[in-house]
Structures are given as C-alpha cells and as structure tokens.
Amino acid sequence: MLALTGWDEVNILGCLLGKATGASSTVARFNRIEYVNLLAGTGIDTAVSSRLIAAGAILRFVRRGRIHSVVTFKDTDAEAIELEVAPNSPAVGRSVVDLNMPKDVVIGGVLRNGETFVPSGISTIEAGDRIILFSMPDSIETVEQLFIQL
C-alpha cells in the first residue's frame, strides 16, 4: 500500500489501516521531520520524507564531483556519503590505516568490481572504488581532497 497524500497523518493512518487489513507492505510519505522517530516500530515498512530527499539532493549538488549520494541523519550533524574514488586521488594505492583520516570519518563499506566489503585497516583503496563513509561536516573538505581531488 502506498500512502502519498499531502497530509502526513492521513498517510500514517492509511498505512496502519492497510497493515491491519492485510497489506504485505506499506509506504508512507511524510514532511514533518518529527515523525522520523515516531514511525520506527509502528509496522509501516517504509517512510519517505520529501524534505530529507530534497536535503540529500541539495547536499549532493553542493558536494560536487564524484559524490553519488548524501544522506543526513536526524539528531546529528553526521552525513553518510557515497563517493567514487578518482584516479588521481591521493588515496589510491594506500591502505585505510595510512590515509590518516580525521577521527570523525569512518569508512563503512567499499564496492569494487561488483563486490561489496567492509574494509579493514590493511585494505587498499583503488581508483573507481565506491566508498560509503560517515563524516561530520568539519571533515568533509578533507574527505573530498583525499578521495576526489577536486
């Protein structure tokens, strides 16, 4: 069941009613950021926020270059960023431990040649790797210089 009206409450109640009457999965659209925590554990399978999607699109545009997606989180300034390592990046050929990244940057995963893995400290970064990392805003410029080389 998709509940995509312009009224958050109607979408939430519609999905809850859908679940109660046998819908196998439900998706609710919402605008009010306050509902992010409220919707967890309600039985609604997916909640889509127009504002969070717009914020991600704006951040992706602002972050430029080889950044494929940016996601922000409620209650924190942290951003999850998916980026592609540039061929001329200073990170290419270096192990994660040798990158000397700021303490508030964590690499959560790497996609290389269709294979996904969680890197260890000895994992080597290659050109074209798609990296998902978590960073605080103050370290984003360092991340861009290290992986993207704008």
How many other CB atoms are there within 10 angstroms of residue 1's CB atom?
17
In percent, the amount of the chain with pLDDT more than 90 equals: 13
pLDDT value at 93 more than 70: yes
pLDDT of residue 126: 95
- The CA distances from residue 57 to 9, 43, 50, 122, in Å, are 25, 28, 11, 33
Q: What is the C-alpha to C-alpha distance for residues 106 and 20, in angstroms, rounded to an integer?
A: 40
Fold of 64-148: Alpha-Beta Plaits (3.30.70)
Residue 11 near residue 37 (C-beta atoms within 8 A):
no
- Domain boundaries in the chain? 2-49, 64-148
- The CA distances from residue 91 to 123, 138, 146, in Å, are 11, 19, 6
Residue pLDDT, tens place only, 12-66? 888 888 888 988 888 888 777 666 666 666 777 777 766 656 555 555 554 455 5
pLDDT value at 116 more than 70: yes
Residue pLDDT, tens place only, 23-34? 888 888 877 766
